[in-house]
Amino acid sequence: MKKFLKQYFSIINYSIMGIVFGYAFFYLFINMYHYQDIRRVYNTTVKDEMLVKKVDSRLKLIENNINSFDVNKYHGQLDASRLNLVSANLKTCIKYYNNSTYNDLKKKKSISIIDVYNLREAYENEVLNGCIVKNLYWVSAIEKTDFTSLKSNAVLLSYYFKDILATTNYLKKDLLNNTSYSFSTEIFSKEIKNASKEGFYEVMNAYNSSLNIVEYISNWLKDEAEAGVLND
Amino acid sequence: MTKIINVFLLVMKVIFLLISFVITFNIVLRMYDRLDKNYIESISVFLPYFSLFLVFAINLVFKQSQVNNCLFYNVTCCLVLCMLIFCGYRAMYDEYMLLYIRLGNYHINFNYYADMIAPLQVMLYLLTFSNFILMFTGKKEAQKVIAKKID
């Protein structure tokens, strides 16, 4: 009986050790796999990317629009000092768009998940908070101003602002979730979504679409400036 | 050959246990500091380490060959402790897990380690339990019989 119990416990014990061994083995290797998986980079020359070129050319266009306004030459119907303020707001915006993270990324030839995260953070902190909220959000409350041509689009603009402020929220959650992982990581990365590649395009698309409003206001400023100079 | 591997694993598992304890101690104390929790409550996290250390000490002091020479047990212990060290290393240094950057000042990915703690504790308790059973059911090393040739 004693021998039987001893053998019985021995079997149970080796079963427990087997389970622990298997689980630890699985855990260790899935961790190693995940360690490697999140280091996957997207190889591309960033400055040659279509979206980057597009954003850069639009920034140049906006800069030219801003430079077309000269407060000393303006003699239009609107208050010149207020237009000058708009011009200053747009100039500040350009600085925020040309932030150091974006400029550093343009020098790179491969994009890691950290680059995407930093670019998204720069988009939120510099572009959305610095440019859109601090310098341009007043456009969505245009009823209080005398800028009539902007006023007609105020409601649409306010929707647009709300939209671009929430564009990359999902991406942020997605990126921060890369601590968790599952069996589907390999298939997910290859077939559905590669976080480094797709994340980069998502943020650059957000950069590009947020430029619509800056470009729209800069075009309006340019038109006003030209009309003001003609009136003179 | 098996004996040499067993001796090697025996030494390694004690070293791994100490390293993994130091890593866990560091992470858990910082985690409690961040959450402003009472450090006394963290004792439950270290209990499996203490219990495993205790049985290792008993194995070594009483020279329990049924445990010390069990290759499968030694390999499993080393594997589990390796995993603990690897998880600790990732929590402290793997900045590609973006929560590491997000959590900022502490430079530890607490969320990742908090996910790991529960299964790791269970594994350490199971190793302690296995060690106990091995003490009573494992085969002891056969005593060497020295035959003297009688002239």
A113: containing domain: 41-231
**A12 and A80 within one domain:** no
Are A111 and A119 within 8 A, CB to CB? no
**A45 and A18 within one domain:** no
pLDDT tens track for A8-67: 888 998 999 999 999 999 988 888 888 888 888 888 898 899 999 999 999 999 999 999
For residue A7, list chain B residues with Cβ-Cβ distance below 8 A: 137
pLDDT tens track for A132-184: 888 887 766 655 556 666 666 666 777 777 777 777 777 888 787 777 765 55
**A87 and A20 within one domain:** no
Q: What angle do the packed helices B71-93 and A2-37 form, to 10 degrees?
A: 30
* Chain-chain contact of A24 with B80 (C-beta, under 8 angstroms): yes
**A192 and A95 within one domain:** yes
* Chain-chain contact of A179 with B73 (C-beta, under 8 angstroms): no
Beta pairing partners, A110: A43
Q: How many domains does chain A have?
A: 2
H or E, element range at B143: none
Q: Is the pLDDT of residue B89 over 90?
A: yes
**A161 and A69 within one domain:** yes
Q: What share of chain A in percent tops pLDDT 70?
A: 84
* Chain-chain contact of B98 with A19 (C-beta, under 8 angstroms): no
**A133 and A197 within one domain:** yes
Q: How far is B48 from chain A (nearest CA, A)?
A: 15
Q: How far is A217 from chain B (nearest CA, A)?
A: 35
* Cα gap B41→B63, rounded to integer Å: 35
Are B84 and B23 within 8 A, CB to CB? yes
* Chain-chain contact of B96 with A39 (C-beta, under 8 angstroms): yes
Q: How far is A16 from chain B (nearest CA, A)?
A: 7
Identity of the residue in A7, A13, A24 whose CB atom sits nearest the CB atom of B123: A24
- What single-letter amino acid sits at B137? T
Q: What is this model's ipTM?
A: 0.86
* Chain-chain contact of B87 with A179 (C-beta, under 8 angstroms): no
Question: Sorting pLDDT into bands at 50, 70 and 90, what band is A69?
Answer: confident
Mutate to test the interface with B, among A5, A8, A10, A27 (most CBs of B within 10 A): A27
Q: Where are the domains of chain B?
A: 2-137
DSSP track, A60-111:
HHHHHHHHT--TTT--SSS-HHHHHHHHHHHHHHHHHHT-HHHHHHHT-SEE
Q: How far is B89 from chain A (nearest CA, A)?
A: 11
* Cα gap A216→B63, rounded to integer Å: 82
